[in-house]
Amino acid sequence: LFVEADLPGDGTLAATPAQAHYLGAVLRRSPGDPVLLFNGRDGEWQAEVAALRKDRGSFALGRRTRAQAPEPPLRLLLAAVKRDAMDLVAEKATELGATLIQPVLTRRTVTDRVNTGRLAAIAREAAEQCRRLGVPEVREAAPLHAVLDAWDGAPLLFGDETGHGTTGHGATGHGTTGHGAAGGGEGEGAAALAGAVAGLAPPLAWLVGPEGGFDPAELADLRRRPFVRAVTLGPRILRAETAAIAGLAVMQAVAGD
């Protein structure tokens, strides 16, 4: 279970009302039963339910069962999409080891409200479920150009479904140069993601556009940033959430832990 408090603290922790309800009504736990606690910073701790009533409870802490290991920084930048898709991505990105989830606002973003508190809660639950001791940081949504302006220079790969290269071509429409131009042989074709990640070390970032894609001005802006590289996930146009999850899976497999 995720707890906010420092661990071990003074050895006793209060459960949140939601945890007390979950432990009692859903998991049918009683005082004396074991639970594992983590807070995203101090490792995993064995604990025991000390008291449990309807929506109140406490834990008595035992020994530490796992140390907090550093996680390779894998950042996800995702154009805000509809709520269900954001929820899905928050869960799957956490399972796949993303350490940062940054919603970005683009010209073709249709929603301008992203409930980041909700996404953070989903990420915490996903971390509990997959026994991950780290929880990704969920940042407030910000305009794409602002995120790029503030970038620390770590390699940022973006999903380019047009298969165009990182330079040249000007127009960003579809279909004129063919898809899946992995490497392209001309030095400017979009590389396939796994190939682009090989040889890079975290921190790494994966940026996915909105359902309508990035607009030409955004693509031009992305291409002139030295830390940005366009990559393809193949010839099919994926939903934004699929592209987010698939890209993270590749990054995790090639450069993760």
Cβ contacts of 147 within 8 Å, gap of 6 or more: 77, 102, 104
CB of 161 to ligand SAM, least distance (A): 3
Quick one: 71 or 211, whose CB is closer to ligand SAM?
A: 211
HSE (side-chain half, CA atoms, 13 Å) at 119 = 29
Spatial neighbors of 180 by CB under 8 A, at least 6 apart, are: 163, 192, 232, 234, 235
**Could you tell me the two tokens for 87?**
């929820």
Query: Is 47 in contact with 59 (CB distance < 8 Å)?
Result: yes
Those residues whose C-beta lies under 8 Å from the C-beta of residue 108, and which sit 6 or more positions away, are: 79, 209, 210, 211, 212, 213, 214, 215
52 binds ligand SAM (CB under 6 A): no
Taking residues 150 to 169 in sequence order and writing x for each that binds ligand SAM by CB under 6 A, - otherwise, the string is: ---------xxx--------
Q: How far is the CB of 243 from ligand SAM (least distance, A)?
A: 4
Cβ atoms of 75 and 40 closer than 8 Å: no
CA distance 58 to 73: 33
Q: Interface residues for ligand SAM in 15-44 (CB under 6 A)?
A: none
**Residues 159/208, Cβ–Cβ less than 8 Å:** yes
- CB closer to ligand SAM, 13 vs 222: 222
Told to check if 136 binds ligand SAM by CB under 6 A, we report no
Residue 232 binds to ligand SAM (criterion: CB under 6 A)? yes
- Per CB under 6 A, does 134 bind ligand SAM? no
Q: Which of 75, 209, 222, 229 binds ligand SAM (CB under 6 A)?
A: 209
Work out how close the CB of 247 gets to ligand SAM at its nearest, in angstroms, rounded to a whole number: 7
**Residue in 16, 194, 234, 254 binding ligand SAM, rule: CB under 6 A:** 234
Site string for ligand SAM, 77-116 (x = CB under 6 A): ----------------------------------------
Site for ligand SAM contains 243 (CB under 6 A): yes
Q: Is 252 exposed, middle or buried (0-12, 13-18, 19+ CB in 10 A)?
A: buried
Binding site residues, ligand SAM, CB under 6 A: 159-161, 208-209, 211-214, 232-234, 236-240, 243
